[in-house]
Every structure is written in C-alpha cells, then in structure tokens.
Amino acid sequence: GDSVTQMEGPVTLSEEAFLTINCTYTATGYPSLFWYVQYPGEGLQLLLKATKADDKGSNKGFEATYRKETTSFHLEKGSVQVSDSAVYFCALMDSSYKLIFGSGTRLLVRP
Amino acid sequence: DVKVTQSSRYLVKRTGEKVFLECVQDMDHENMFWYRQDPGLGLRLIYFSYDVKMKEKGDIPEGYSVSREKKERFSLILESASTNQTSMYLCASRSGDGRSYEQYFGPGTRLTVT
C-alpha cells in the first residue's frame, strides 16, 4: 500500500541554520503531497502542499518540491528561527482522498 | 477561520470504562476523521465519515466505534478502554466539495488509561 517515510528526529539546529527534512513516498499514481506542522500543545496545521510533479509548495519561508523521479518531497528552510521548533509531518493523499502520514520529525532550534 | 474543537485536552480513565471523545467543527464540512498519534508511528486513521450517519473503518478500527448523528459532531467511542489505547487522539474535518484537500485538526485529547 501507499506509505511515507521521513527522517527520524530529533533534528537540532542553531538559529539561522539551513533546514532539510527528508521525505520519500511510495504510491500508485501521482498523489498530492503535504507538509503539516504541529506546534507544542496544538493540533496539526497545513504548512504547504503540492498537487503534481515539479510543483513547489511554499509558506512561511519553508519550501518543498514534488520530485516524481525520486518520489521525494523534502522540506527546506534557509534560516530557521526558534519559533520553528515543532514536529513536522509529511503526508500523501491516497486514491480514496485519505491522508497517509509519515512518522513525524521533531525540530528543535536553539537560540 | 475553521475551528475544530475537542471536548477534553486531557482525560484519565480506568481499564474497562466506556470512553467518549467528542469533536465539533463549525465549517459545515462533510468529511470528519479520527486519528491516534503515537511516538514514532505518526498519525494513524481510526475511522472517518463522509456524511451524517455514514462511517468507514480506517487502518486501526479495532476496539473503537464512532457516531455521527449531526453533521458538525463526530464522536469516538472506546467501548471498554484498555491500556494500549493510551494515546493522543486527533480529530479533523475537511470539505467534501473536491476543491480543497486541506484537513483541519483539533488540538487533540491526550487519553491515559490506567
């Protein structure tokens, strides 16, 4: 079945460092891809999405590009802030319009 | 703004108790979902509903049931709570009009079964 694999955390960075969180997927066809973020004590919220190959999703300085050839959707940010500390989930939407999530990656940004 | 609320942020129950988790959304969404979130496992879908009185099993429905009597409310029921159901439970809703893929999540209920 469809699945999402993302890098294990925690990822610990200093403020203003470059961030990459890897995400790869296995699916039939070309699913829509998403990054969700969960701040401490809160539910998940959509960070960005891409619905077809080569699309780039972006929001709040974060970016991810839908790479069909490598079945990847890596999350990047050029300069992280302490306020970016959260858990990040990569997800795909399957053919039944259900979301399948990766295991989540905790990001800790130190001042 | 879409708002999804859950009845409790923290809940402690004893083994064998019947537990109700309530979720309410205010955006007239057709689709509603219940997930559980466990460290290292991400979110796993328990049940979802496409419309009032409609329900579908997700990936891990065993030990759970659901009820959707009104469009805005989706309840998760643990008929006889067990310690392995200690987890964070997240509710979500989504429009059914096909134009939006975004799921909106509630803040979660952390359930501890002792």
Q: pLDDT at position A41, please?
A: 85
Q: pLDDT at position A87, please?
A: 96
User: Is A98 in the B-facing interface, judged by CB distances under 8 Å?
Assistant: yes
Q: pLDDT at position A97, please?
A: 81
- Residue A63 CB contacts under 8 Å (≥ 6 apart), including other chains: A48, A56, A57, A75, A76, A77
- Residue B84 CB contacts under 8 Å (≥ 6 apart), including other chains: none
Question: B44, B59 in Cβ contact below 8 A?
Answer: yes
Per-residue confidence in pLDDT tens, chain B, 114 aa? 668 999 999 999 999 999 999 999 998 999 999 999 998 888 999 999 999 989 999 999 999 999 999 999 999 999 999 999 999 999 999 987 666 678 899 999 999 999
Percent of chain A exceeding pLDDT 90 equals 85
Q: pLDDT at position B101, please?
A: 75
Using the predicted structure, report yes or no on whether residue A69 has a pLDDT greater than 90. Answer: yes
- Cβ–Cβ below 8 Å for A101 and B58: no
- Cβ–Cβ below 8 Å for B105 and A44: yes
User: Is B55 in the A-facing interface, judged by CB distances under 8 Å?
Assistant: no
- Cβ–Cβ below 8 Å for A42 and B4: no
Query: pLDDT-derived band of residue A9, with 50, 70 and 90 as boundaries?
Result: confident
Q: pLDDT at position B99, please?
A: 60
Question: B7, B91 in Cβ contact below 8 A?
Answer: no
pLDDT mean across residues, chain A: 94
User: Is A103 in the B-facing interface, judged by CB distances under 8 Å?
Assistant: yes
Q: pLDDT at position A1, please?
A: 86
- Residue B112 CB contacts under 8 Å (≥ 6 apart), including other chains: B10, B11, B12, B13, B86
Q: pLDDT at position A111, please?
A: 95
Using the predicted structure, report yes or no on whether residue A96 has a pLDDT greater than 70. Answer: yes
Using the predicted structure, report yes or no on whether residue A61 has a pLDDT greater than 90. Answer: yes
CA distance to B18, B23, B65, B66, per residue, from B14 (Å): 9, 22, 18, 20
Contacts of B40 in chain A (CB under 8 A): 103
User: Which member of B45, B90, B104 has the closest CB to residue A98?
Assistant: B45
- Residue B54 CB contacts under 8 Å (≥ 6 apart), including other chains: B68
Question: A26, A2 in Cβ contact below 8 A?
Answer: yes
In angstroms, how far apart are the furthest CA atoms of chain B? Answer: 43
- Cα A78 to Cα A90: distance, rounded to the nearest angstrom: 19
How large is the average pLDDT for residues A1-11? 92
Query: pLDDT-derived band of residue A67, with 50, 70 and 90 as boundaries?
Result: very high
